């Protein structure tokens, strides 16, 4: 299970957010948020009314105009503060990442093989550098020679070192990390300013954050509502004139500001930024807000079996002797076949046999020579000086070897190996010379809690598909044990792309995890591609998210965060629009009840005076924004449930709550204003 970083909002971040809130008053910045830009225009108008009352309506309304001006100003500042606070947490993380970018020196290997010390900023794509123990890796690249332990804690926060070596999926290294043992030669894969660390800093700072499709659609709705209410407020002027009612300009502006969706307008950007920030708390870097949002709508998740659903290291779970061979003899020769096998599988055979009571003298390597596994033979083992040869290997390879030597294949060997495969294991046959002794049952165990996690996905309405290179029998057993919905056996890279395209053709959104170069095409094809930081640069480039902890199962947390982001945005939008009902009953009667006494019937809150009613609604409209900032930052708690239940819950909690809370809040503020005779 992945660990979550704590997102702190320090005093320094708050102070910087307050400062940034005032900087964002720049009209060019405010224009990016049309709803709050309208509020700022209203503020400017009421400010002029306050400064030049004689020109815009008379001295008698100056105090009222000043009060409206102050409240509008506070409303804008609170909205700007919400966005600045969300950005501040990202900037704080960016600053911690920048500490890893030092004036690093690099050992550049020239064409003649000589070494030249240069600044890391001088390195270009294709250069080769030598990095020794205690050196910082100067920039992103791939290991082309050597093996070394690398400390990636500056980026991942994880103290355990990671082994990096040439070839395979663990050759990629990141600039700013530190070699703590041995040496490696690294081929530079990026030019200055384009490294993974540079892009991470830009992303968490929000410098390149763009609105997501959902956010754009919601912004369009908010602008449309703003234009509608602007039209409504404008038409009130001739209506009021017809019934001989004078409406102060400040009152019309107050009505407009209260009716347009200022609450969600002020929090919309903060919700999006906070969503990306919540992903980084899990040590996942999202390359765009779109990927986080898409995760919330995922229908299908493609996961590798090895290392994702299972532990990845096959361990000896049992030893099955064939007819005529004792358990003790098989145990002894299984250990002989693994004396020089330093792989986890080989060590597990010896460990299992020792538990069965094997004596230590059988582990003596004197007079023996190890035979390594090769792709051609698909066997490994031990040769003894007395001529004895012990091997273990794949069933078909061993059978072919036995027949070649003129030996006999035991009649029960196939039944035993099939039984192992049906249980989700890998059978390895042990032989001495041309004599078959039995089968080692290697099992790649499912990680604890995986079945529960897939049940959780199922409750979210998400289909899980396991990809594995295992045979169909083994794949089916593991799939059943893990609880996935479907599986693809003997999978090739092309199979992953095919299943993604097939799901997308049905209108579904697909997520996938991967780390190898062969995963890159599928990661690029998926709507949400989560690459492992320990993987290749090709995989990280193709994906739209990178997990710094290299935990493939973290895609489940990413999906939950995406759904939480969409729920938070929907909940606060519902609450904001529902607010207008109470504000309508506060302001409309206040505007007309002096001229039309019958309008008092709509003053169901019993607000004291027209001015106190308008100011109370306006004050509530301002203070509700900072009160909702914690919810926007933390997000609405997501609990897996059906869409119908989720809609019912949101309407009852945020819809009904959005109607009732303003009634209570506006009445309370009105009582305070009357108590202190403010209005």
Segment 184-193, tens digit of pLDDT: 999 998 888 7
pLDDT (tens digit per residue) in 376-400: 788 999 999 888 999 999 898 899 8
Residue 168, pLDDT above cutoff 80: no
User: Minimal CA–CA distance to 123: which of 137, 144, 112, 113?
Assistant: 137
Q: Give the CA radius of gyration of the chain.
A: 34
Q: Quote the tokens at residue 162.
A: 């990671």
> In a 10 Å sphere around its CB, with 0-12 CB exposed, 13-18 middle and 19+ buried, how is residue 305 labelled?
buried
Residue 202, pLDDT above cutoff 70: no
SS3 572: helix
Residue 73, pLDDT above cutoff 90: yes
pLDDT (tens digit per residue) in 444-473: 777 778 888 888 888 878 899 988 877 787
What does the DSSP assignment read for 391-409? Answer: EEEEHHHHHHHHHHTT---
Residue 647, pLDDT above cutoff 70: yes
The stretch 97-101 carries a mean pLDDT of 59
Beta partners for residue 528, in sequence order: 511
Hey, what's the torsion of the CAs at 635, 637, 638, 644, to 10 degrees? -100
For residue 102, the model assigns a pLDDT of 56
Residue 370, pLDDT above cutoff 50: yes
SS3 527: coil
Residue whose pair of structure tokens reads 């999978």 in the numeric block? 491
pLDDT band at 313 (very low <50, low <70, confident <90, very high): low
Which residues in 244-378 belong to E strands, given as ranges? 284-286, 300-304, 315-321, 368-371
- CA dist., res. 72 & res. 36, Å (int): 10
Residue 169, pLDDT above cutoff 60: no
Confirm if 90 and 205 have CB atoms less than 8 A apart.
yes
130 conformational bin, left if phi > 0, alpha if psi -120 to 50, beta if neither: beta
pLDDT band at 207 (very low <50, low <70, confident <90, very high): very low
List, as residue ranges, the binding site for ATP.
Answer: 341, 345, 373-380, 392
For residue 293, the model assigns a pLDDT of 82
Q: How far is CA 350 from CA 345, 454, 649, in A?
A: 9, 34, 57
The stretch 493-504 carries a mean pLDDT of 86
Q: Name the catalytic one among 169, 304, 527, 551.
A: 304
Outline where 377-536 has alpha helix (H): 395-404, 413-422, 450-459, 472-482, 493-505, 520-525
List, as residue ranges, the binding site.
Answer: 341, 345, 373-380, 392, 515, 519
Residue 211, pLDDT above cutoff 80: no
pTM assigned to the model: 0.66
Q: Which helix (H) or strand (E) holds 112?
A: none
Active site residue 580: no
Q: Quote the tokens at residue 384.
A: 């003894």
Share of the chain above pLDDT 90, in %: 24
Q: Enter the DSSP assignment of 581.
A: H
Confirm if 521 and 302 have CB atoms less than 8 A apart.
no
Residue whose pair of structure tokens reads 């754009």 in the numeric block? 216
Lowest mean pLDDT among 26-30, 264-268, 316-320, 519-523: 519-523
The stretch 226-234 carries a mean pLDDT of 90
Residue 531, pLDDT above cutoff 80: yes
Share of the chain above pLDDT 70, in %: 89
- CA dist., res. 89 & res. 383, Å (int): 62
């Amino acid at each position: 299970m992945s660990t979550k970083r704590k997102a702190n909002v320090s005093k320094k971040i708050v102070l910087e957010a307050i400062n940034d809130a005032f900087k964002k008053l720049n009209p060019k910045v405010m224009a990016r948020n049309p709803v709050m830009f309208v509020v700022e225009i209203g503020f400017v108008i009421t400010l002029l009314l306050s400064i030049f009352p004689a020109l815009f309506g008379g001295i008698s309304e100056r105090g009222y105009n000043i009060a409206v001006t102050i409240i509008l100003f506070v409303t804008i500042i609170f909205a700007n503060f919400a966005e600045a606070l969300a950005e501040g947490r990202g900037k704080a993380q960016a600053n911690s990442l920048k500490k890893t970018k030092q004036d690093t020196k690099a050992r550049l290997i020239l064409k003649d093989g000589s070494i030249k010390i240069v600044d890391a900023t001088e390195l270009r794509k294709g250069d080769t550098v030598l990095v020794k123990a205690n050196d910082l890796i100067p920039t992103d690249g791939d290991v082309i020679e050597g093996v070394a332990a690398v400390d990636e804690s500056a980026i991942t926060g994880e103290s355990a070192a990671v082994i990096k070596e040439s070839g395979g999926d663990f050759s990629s290294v990141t600039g700013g990390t530190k070699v703590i043992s041995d040496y490696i030669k690294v081929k530079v894969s990026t030019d200055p300013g384009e490294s993974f660390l540079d892009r991470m800093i830009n992303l968490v700072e929000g410098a390149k954050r763009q609105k997501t499709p959902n956010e754009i659609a919601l912004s369009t709705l908010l602008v449309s509502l703003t234009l509608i209410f602007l039209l409504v407020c404008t038409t009130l002027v001739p209506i009021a004139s017809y019934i001989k009612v004078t409406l102060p300009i400040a009152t019309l502006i107050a009505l407009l500001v209260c009716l347009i969706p200022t609450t969600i307008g002020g929090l919309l950007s903060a919700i999006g930024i906070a969503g990306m920030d919540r992903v980084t708390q899990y040590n996942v870097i999202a390359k765009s807000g779109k990927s986080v949002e898409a995760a919330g709508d995922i229908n299908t998740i493609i996961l590798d079996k090895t290392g994702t659903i299972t532990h990845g290291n096959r361990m000896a779970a049992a030893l099955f002797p064939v007819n005529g061979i004792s358990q003790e003899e098989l145990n002894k020769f299984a250990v002989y076949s693994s004396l020089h096998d330093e792989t986890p599988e080989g060590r597990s055979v010896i460990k299992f046999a020792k538990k069965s009571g094997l004596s230590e003298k059988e582990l003596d390597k004197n007079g023996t020579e190890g035979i390594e596994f090769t792709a051609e033979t698909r066997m490994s083992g031990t040769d003894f000086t007395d001529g004895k040869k012990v091997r273990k290997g794949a069933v078909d390879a061993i059978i072919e070897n036995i027949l070649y030597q003129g030996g006999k294949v035991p009649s029960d060997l196939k039944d035993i190996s099939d039984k192992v495969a049906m249980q989700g294991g890998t059978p390895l046959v042990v032989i001495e010379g041309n004599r078959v002794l039995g089968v080692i049952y290697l099992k790649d165990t499912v990680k604890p809690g995986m079945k529960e996690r897939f049940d959780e996905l199922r409750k979210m309405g998400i289909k899980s598909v396991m990809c594995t290179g295992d045979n169909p029998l083994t794949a089916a057993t593991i799939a059943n044990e893990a609880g996935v919905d479907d599986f693809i056996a003997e999978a090739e890279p092309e199979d992953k792309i095919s299943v993604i395209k097939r799901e997308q053709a049905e209108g579904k959104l697909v997520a996938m995890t991967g780390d190898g170069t062969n995963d890159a095409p599928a990661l690029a094809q998926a709507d949400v591609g989560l690459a492992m930081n320990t993987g290749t640069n090709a995989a990280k480039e193709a994906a739209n998210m990178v997990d710094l902890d290299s935990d493939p199962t973290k895609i489940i947390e990413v999906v939950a965060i995406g759904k939480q982001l969409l729920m938070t945005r929907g909940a606060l939008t519902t609450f904001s629009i529902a607010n207008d009902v109470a504000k309508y009953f506060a302001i409309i009667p206040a505007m007309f009840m002096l001229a039309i006494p019958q309008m008092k019937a709509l003053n169901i809150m019993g607000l004291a005076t027209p001015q106190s009613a308008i100011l109370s609604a306006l004050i509530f409209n301002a203070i509700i924004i900072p009160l909702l900032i914690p919810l926007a930052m933390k997000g609405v708690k997501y609990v897996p449930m059906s869409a119908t239940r989720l809609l019912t819950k949101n309407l009852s909690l945020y819809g009904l709550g959005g109607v009732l809370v303003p009634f209570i809040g506006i009445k309370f503020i009105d009582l305070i204003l009357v108590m202190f005779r403010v209005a």
